[in-house]
Structure 1
Amino acid sequence: MTKHSRLFSTWSLVALVVGNAVGAGIYTTSGFALADLGSREWVLFGWFVAGLVAIAGAMSYGMLVRHITESGGEYVFLSRAIHPLAGFIAGWVSLLAGFPGAIAFAALAFEAYLSSAWPWLQQVPATATAIAVTVCAGLLHGFRVRTGVQSHQNLVLLMLIILVLLVVAATFVITLRTPPISVLPVAPVQFNLYAFAGTLVWISLSYSGFNAAAYVAGEVDHARDAVPRGMVLGTVVTMVLCLAVNWVLLYGADASLIQGRAEIAAVVADSLGGRTARQLVQLVVAISLLTSITAMALAGPRVYAKMAEDGALPAVFKQRLGHPPRTSIALQVVISVLLISLSDLRGLMSYLGFTLSLCLALAVSSLFVIHWRRGLRPASAWYPLAPLVFVVCTVSFAMLSSIHQPMQALALVPVCGLGALAYYGSVRHTRRRSPQSKTEI
């Protein structure tokens, strides 16, 4: 058993998945979704559907890890199974948008909630709090691997305890309220399939952490069994939490108070229990957002380190055995800070949901390539059902959403174009496989 494997136990992997997923989206998406769909029931149904798709995705990623036990996620899967160019573009998207963008999204939401809790923070320059928490997360994981992993686990455990207690208390208040909040009408909006698809893309961002454990697979003992188990268990826990929390958010206050609002959790808490409840909710939201930021600060740099190991990025970004990838962590912090300074919360949510959905679908599609090209059938009774469900649903949601909001699809073009140019301009001639590769396909 290696030094790293003792750090990444099953609970560590579950905490990485839950911490990555239960972040900004779970507390912000339903307000925007309710404004677009005009129905609490449709919004909850969206959370349910997206959760099932995420479980299918977790199963599919588990099949990939059983073939490829290296760290690096989509970059490694696509590079090894399809073509180095496909992997490089996936890694490029992760570097320029995926992880830094998701960190920026969570950090901006963190700032919004803190400003709402303590109005004096509104005097602090805009984005200063978001930038500060992003830098602190980078420093935490850049110190020692053990320090970062254990700190993240403790944050996730604290978040789960407080969140469960708050959901139980809120459910008790809502069911006893007279008249029940559910009788308060939502402003009627005609159902729109494209808007529903867009909502599913947003919601998928809250579930996108289902694959987080795959990014550290190369540092886990018995990864073929431990990583798939951690991803599926973490995704099931995430789905239960998402449904429970968003039921409370949707039925805990008048729809007119929460439609189109990012900080709906604080609004609902104020409606249910006044100032004390609001402060408790703001505390758990802040902790949840911190777990999301620390999870991505842990996972993302492993992608860039693997790219450097393969020659796809400068060697300075490699990870030394037993040490965190400090230079890669610093690079991610810098890009995250730039995105925080240049982006808005809702714009980031739409773009990230669309971009990450397509990257995840492409990675899962590599299972079919493995089966077709190399004759290796994934060792799972859920093949090909789980990957088919995930790919078809994810791509369909993304395409329907792009019709409703075409700019999110257009914004992806220059990112992929720049990635292809970078690959053919330099990487194609220097890329090499790692001699330590554990690939078995």
Structure 2
Amino acid sequence: MSTPPPSEPSPYRPPAGQDSSSEQDSSSKPEADGEAGAFTRPLSTLSLACLVVANMIGVGVFTTSGFTLDSLHSPTTVVLAWAAAGAIAVLGATCYGGLARQVTESGGEYLFLSRGVHPAAGFMAGWISLVAGFSGAIGLSAVAFAKHMPGGLAEYETTAAIVLIVIFTGVNLIGLRPAAGVQNILVIGKLAVLVVFACYGLGYLVFSPATAEDAAAATVASATTTGVDAWTWGALTSSLMWISFSYAGYNAAVYIAGAARNCQASVPKAMVWGTVGVAVLYVALNAVFVYAAPAEAIALQPEVALIATGFIDPNWLVEALRVVILVSLATSVLAMVQTGPHVYAQMARDGLLPRWLDTSGATPRVGIVVQAAIAIVLVLNSNFLDLLNYLAFLLSVSSAATIGCLFLPAFRGQPGKRPVPLWPWLPLVFVAATLMIAAHAFQFRWETDPNGLVQVLAVLPLGFAVYLWMRLVR
């Protein structure tokens, strides 16, 4: 694939009266990354797809089904929920691809909402990404990595989490291209092992039919014990919220689009195909998890993958899966450390964050260090990390608002040349499904832990105060 010149044009034009100088400057200058002459678009479609996969496959797929099984009381319903959330994620990736074809800069939700709606809307999306989408998620994944370490090493989880963040921060400081090369190798190896594991587990279920019958019988017993005969819409939507959080990252390529070769084609392709592949893998893996073990053994258990695998083979397979989980969490941290600073750099370029977060190269090294420092602080503050679980619905609302930009004149294209297939139905279905899940999840959280939800919502006025301050000091 040939590499286009750094002045790759964008068909996007800001609304009338909006200054476009920052877009032109950021997309046209041949900035260097490492060696002189290496332009700021070093990422191939393969690297972008690996970035998407690495962002998506993290702690959620290995831990969520134990909690969703307790809520939904049926292995089949749990698997269908994973499939439904996967379909929503594919819709989201398709819609983000339609936006990426029109804006060839890095920035993600911040960029689309800032250019299409208002800088304040974009800033709030970027602020949520800074607090939850990247820094907080890096901290959560690093802690999860430490918790999955074998033997007595887990007692040093805080130190291990910080060391992991520091190591991958160092890898990304070397440069975008070498960091992407390391990530590609790890992701491809991880995917190969997970596919083999999924096939092995599904084969075990097929040739051990009693396993599914035992799981179903245990499910009935569990439902009777808890006094719940069937799932409710609140439980379903709350479960979909958790599962959807496991799919977060399907849009990872848009955050770093300014470093992609042939951005208008490679970014949408990487997101859609990466998301489809992960969705199929997720459904297969969770079918193995919820059918291989009795419900009472895995319900409400955070290590559902390891526990379920123990019922398939209690020896070597469990430890092999543990290694895969550790690699998955490590690559997730690597991908988020790589991606997030490009958003902060674009916000700084637009004057909404301090200028020193903007760098002249394809690798925003200052932002990488700042993000790592925030993530480490969050790791040391475990109470705040617990609250980050409630920010999932804020990320969903941010995604819905971003896809809503496809209905605006600046992004919806011309009749006959719409940015996504079946416009406006695809974005409409995604927005409606995402907001419905977020609304039910909000209600469910309000009923179960209103204090925690209020503390999380305080992130919004704090972010708006920062936005007003930056506007004043510009």
Distance in 1 (alpha carbons) for counterparts of 2:112 and 2:313 = 48
Which structure is higher in RCO with an 8 Å CA cutoff and minimum separation 6?
1
Partner of residue 265, structure 1? 305
Q: Secondary structure at the match of 1:320?
A: coil
Partner of residue 100, structure 1? 135
CA contact (8 A) 1:215 1:300 kept: yes
AA matched with 1:195: A
The answer to whether structure 1 residue 65 and structure 2 residue 95 are counterparts is no
Distance in 2 (alpha carbons) for counterparts of 1:212 and 1:152 = 14
Partner residue of 2:179 out of 120, 144, 148: 148
Larger helix share, 1 or 2 = 1
AA matched with 1:26: V
Partner residue of 1:129 out of 157, 160, 176: 160
Partner residue of 2:359 out of 314, 319, 322: 319
Deviates more, 1:247-256 or 1:76-85: 247-256
CA contact (8 A) 2:145 2:161 kept: yes
**What TM-score, normalized to structure 2?**
0.85
Partner of residue 416, structure 1? 460
Distance in 2 (alpha carbons) for counterparts of 1:28 and 1:370 = 42
Distance in 1 (alpha carbons) for counterparts of 2:329 and 2:208 = 30
Distance in 1 (alpha carbons) for counterparts of 2:391 and 2:172 = 23
CA contact (8 A) 2:391 2:456 kept: no
CA contact (8 A) 2:56 2:247 kept: yes
AA matched with 2:461: G
Distance in 2 (alpha carbons) for counterparts of 1:157 and 1:194 = 37
Partner residue of 2:390 out of 351, 372, 389: 351
**What TM-score, normalized to structure 1?**
0.91
Distance in 2 (alpha carbons) for counterparts of 1:176 and 1:373 = 51
Q: Cα distance 1:61–1:428, how it changes in 2: closer, same or farther (>3 A)?
A: farther
Distance in 2 (alpha carbons) for counterparts of 1:425 and 1:205 = 31
Partner of residue 360, structure 1? 399
The answer to whether structure 1 residue 22 and structure 2 residue 57 are counterparts is yes
AA matched with 1:426: M
Unaligned runs of 5+ in 2: 7-37
Q: Cα distance 1:167–1:346, how it changes in 2: closer, same or farther (>3 A)?
A: farther
The answer to whether structure 1 residue 274 and structure 2 residue 314 are counterparts is yes
Deviates more, 1:5-14 or 1:297-306: 5-14
AA matched with 1:21: M
Partner residue of 1:86 out of 121, 125, 142: 121
Q: Cα distance 1:182–1:375, how it changes in 2: closer, same or farther (>3 A)?
A: same
Q: How does 1:165-244 map to 2 (within 5 A)?
A: 165-177=196-208, 179-184=210-215, 185-186=218-219, 187-188=222-223, 189=228, 190-244=230-284
Distance in 1 (alpha carbons) for counterparts of 2:270 and 2:456 = 31
Partner of residue 437, structure 1? none
Displacement, 1:269? 1.8
Distance in 2 (alpha carbons) for counterparts of 1:282 and 1:352 = 27
Partner of residue 44, structure 1? 79
Displacement, 1:341? 2.4
CA contact (8 A) 1:367 1:378 kept: no
Displacement, 1:22? 0.9
1:366-411 superposed Cα distances (whole Å, 9 cap, x missing partner) = 1112359997873332321121111110111010011111246534
Counting aligned pairs with the same residue, the percent is 36
Distance in 2 (alpha carbons) for counterparts of 1:231 and 1:178 = 36
Partner of residue 338, structure 1? 377
Displacement, 1:260? 0.9
Q: Secondary structure at the match of 1:60?
A: helix
Q: How does 1:152-167 map to 2 (within 5 A)?
A: 152-167=183-198
The size of the alignment, in residue pairs, is 425
Q: Cα distance 1:394–1:343, how it changes in 2: closer, same or farther (>3 A)?
A: farther
